[in-house]
Amino acid sequence: MSKQMPPAHPFDDDKLHEECGIFGVIGVTDAANFVALGLHALQHRGQEAGGIVCHHPDHGFNHARRFGYVRDNFTKQSLMETLPGPLSIGHVRYSTAGGKAPVIRDVQPFFGEFAMGGAAIAHNGNITNADALRRELIERGSIFQSNSDSECIIHLMARSLQRTIPDRMEDALRRVEGAFSVVAMTRTKLIGVRDPLGVRPLVLGQLGDGWVLSSETCALDIIGAAFVREIEPGEMVVITDKGVESRRPFKPLSPRFCIFEHVYFSRPDSIIGGRSVYETRRQIGIELAREAPVEADIVCPVPDSGTPAAIGYSHESGIPYAMGIIRNQYMGRTFIEPTEQIRNMGVRLKLNVNRALIKDKRVILVDDSVVRGTTSRKIKEMILDAGAKEVHFRIASPPTAWPCFYGVDTPQREKLLAATMSEDEMRDHLAVDSLKFITLDGLYRAVGEASGRNAKCPQYCDACFSGEYPVAPSDQIEKGFELKAAE
């Protein structure tokens, strides 16, 4: 399956991955077509599989789940005709928390038939006490169909004593720990929820008389919906043909939005907190040029995610911006390696160095992050092979030293380069002339916090950089994960 789905990002296998995108529409004809478009715009948040559920007064609930890209599945007339009705939600996903081989049963939205009617939910985030909840539910006679942590929510709803589905959902989500943005639907309601910390994004849009919920604003743009506002941390909205009702099911907490959404996950044309992500990333480049200047001839982005920061770095430093690395538009993953060994073949399938440009130059390479460091090393080699005089890495995020347990696929701690090495050790390991990461304070400034990070109560979730987890990852701790020692 994966052979058929080459990654859209060239270094997909050495990046952190957002695990899900969610989208829902109410009050329009053939809502599932809009959901398909919305999921297409959110494809960068999950490429493994997608699912759509919809409801039509005459035809009831219908659904479809497919492995592969939205554009390859939810574009077929024959399939979309099976998904009628004015109310629909959808989900794209990268992989389960379990990390096992993908099975179609794990693809959301999940559906449950309750005594008062059916409901479907789509979840972005990760439930940190899912193992404990699952054990308890099985004890009581629930039969799980998937390996997904998200399935707990629908079983908790099935067993709730409340009378309406939104009430049952409140009931269920109060048992759940971790990070979650949820889009759900009944026969007549579209529901959106964000956890009390608001770790994962969720926005509200308007489309004619209808309403839209989406992980990012870029998916509002594709269907021409107007951006209304972000769903607030800890808020539940229940949308019917009478309008949007706002509820507050949880005890209030200080918000901790995921700062990595700014750095890498979200699309550059999405708007978070009133500013385009592109502009924030350009700002990161500017901060980086201030924090870590170096003499050089050209500033080159590592395509494609390093581009805005490289533009910012070039602008601030005055060093010319240039495309020293050209991406192959038709990336592949799995060619047969010929007998004569090709050096760095995996990288060559994805990009090529612009040799005539690089030769004899001092090159600043701007990348968004360093995870395992494997591709950074290969790119450096290709740049040197092409005759560069010096190579300086500038990284648009602080060292990634801790795994994320809130819906992002990270390697185990040991695999993170920054978990075991200092910045200097990493520079030597990569064998480059210099290597600099933006500081955590610099990053906070770039996202708009003029005075940097509030160490007492950080404005964002930055656990992957700081090791400070705003919600204790209880399943992981039970399995032996060690939190950062108190200082």
Q: Which of residues 443-482 bind a copy of itself (CB under 8 A)?
A: none
The crossing angle, in degrees rounded to 10, of helices 130-139 and 151-159 is 40
- Residues in the interface with a copy of itself (CB under 8 A) total 91
Instruction: Tokens 């709803």: give the residue.
Output: 157
Q: Which of residues 304, 390, 423, 468 is near a copy of itself by CB under 8 A?
A: 304
Task: Return the residues of window 225-284 that contact a copy of itself according to CB under 8 A.
Answer: 267-269, 271, 275-276, 278-279
Q: Which of residues 141, 243, 318, 480 is near a copy of itself by CB under 8 A?
A: 141
Question: CA 333 to CA 337: how far, in whole Å?
Answer: 11
The residue length of the chain stands at 487
106 is in an annotated binding site: no
Instruction: Give the interface segment with a copy of itself, choosing from 174-182, 319-327, 389-397, 404-412 (CB under 8 A).
Output: 319-327
143 part of the interface to a copy of itself, by CB under 8 A:
yes
Coil, strand or helix at 285: helix
464 is in an annotated binding site: yes
Neighbours of 359 (CB within 10 A): 12
368 is in an annotated binding site: yes
Instruction: Tokens 């039969």: give the residue.
Output: 143
Task: Return the residues of window 35-94 that contact a copy of itself according to CB under 8 A.
Answer: 36-37, 40-41, 43-44, 47, 69-72, 74-77, 80
The beta-strand segments (E) located in 80-154 are: 87-93, 110-114, 117-127
457 is in an annotated binding site: no
Q: Which of residues 245, 295, 337, 428 is near a copy of itself by CB under 8 A?
A: 337
Instruction: Give the interface segment with a copy of itself, choosing from 249-257, 284-292, 337-345, 438-446 (CB under 8 A).
Output: 337-345
Distances (CA, A) of 121 to 76, 173, 180, 232: 24, 12, 12, 19
Q: Which residues contact 418 (CB under 8 A, 6 or more apart)?
A: 370, 399, 400, 401, 426
Which candidate in 20, 54, 218, 300 is catalytic? 20
For residue 414, with 0-12 CB atoms within 10 Å meaning exposed, 13-18 middle and 19 or more buried, which class applies?
Answer: exposed
- Closest distance to a copy of itself from the beta carbon of 410 (Å): 21
Active-site residue 20, yes or no? yes
Contact at 8 Å (CB) between 317 and 293?
A: yes
- Closest distance to a copy of itself from the beta carbon of 349 (Å): 7
Closest by CA to 182, choosing from 115, 108, 244, 254, is 108
54 is in an annotated binding site: no
For residue 384, with 0-12 CB atoms within 10 Å meaning exposed, 13-18 middle and 19 or more buried, which class applies?
Answer: middle
Q: Which of residues 61, 211, 264, 321 is near a copy of itself by CB under 8 A?
A: 321
299 part of the interface to a copy of itself, by CB under 8 A:
no
- Closest distance to a copy of itself from the beta carbon of 383 (Å): 13
187 part of the interface to a copy of itself, by CB under 8 A:
no
| Helix or strand run (H / E) with residue 36 | helix 31-41
461 is in an annotated binding site: yes
305 is in an annotated binding site: yes
Instruction: Tokens 């399956």: give the residue.
Output: 1
Q: Which of residues 2, 145, 254, 420 is near a copy of itself by CB under 8 A?
A: 145
| Helix or strand run (H / E) with residue 395 | strand 390-395
Task: Return the residues of window 1-30 that contact a copy of itself according to CB under 8 A.
Answer: 3-4, 6, 8-9, 28-30
- Residue 109: asked if its preceding bond is cis (omega within 30°), the reply is yes
223 part of the interface to a copy of itself, by CB under 8 A:
yes
Site string for a copy of itself, 345-364 (x = CB under 8 A): x--xx--xxxxxx-------
- Residue 304: asked if its preceding bond is cis (omega within 30°), the reply is yes
Residues with a known catalytic role: 20
Q: Which residues are annotated as a binding site?
A: 258, 305, 367-368, 404, 461, 464
Q: Which residues are annotated as a binding site for Mg(2+)?
A: 305, 367-368
Q: Which residues are annotated as a binding site for [4Fe-4S] cluster?
A: 258, 404, 461, 464
